[in-house]
Amino acid sequence: MIADAVTVLLIGAGLFFFVAGTVGFVRFPDVHSRLHALTKADNLGLGLVVLGAALQAPDAATVLKLVLVWLLTLAAAATVAQLLARSALEDGAP
């Protein structure tokens, strides 16, 4: 019962950060600010969603898979954001 409530709170908080990152993406004026909003908010949001889902996981193997997906997403998001920011800087995008 308590685990269910904590799961709902964690996933709800994760969704809040996803929405905040999306709003930042739409509202911020330049590429670098948009990337910053997306990468920070989405990584934290996904971490909270994974933590909430891990509380409902039936075994440790499922938790490990969830954490591995989150870590791979962290690495990929940071790499893609770096490449996009460098490309935008070289192109002179505002």
Instruction: Supply the pLDDT for residue 1.
Output: 86
Per domain, the residue ranges of the chain are: 2-91
Q: Tens place of pLDDT for every residue, the chain, 94 residues?
A: 899 999 999 999 999 999 999 999 999 999 989 998 888 899 999 999 999 999 999 999 999 999 999 999 999 998 998 898 999 889 887 7
Q: How far apart are CA 12 and CA 36, in angstroms?
A: 22
CA-to-CA dists, residue 2 to 9, 20, 54, 69, 88, angstroms:
11, 27, 14, 26, 47
Instruction: Supply the pLDDT for residue 78.
Output: 86
From the list 67, 46, 43, the residue with the least C-alpha distance to 57 is: 67
Q: Model pTM greater than 0.75?
A: yes
Instruction: Supply the pLDDT for residue 93.
Output: 77
Q: What length does the chain have?
A: 94
Instruction: Supply the pLDDT for residue 21.
Output: 92
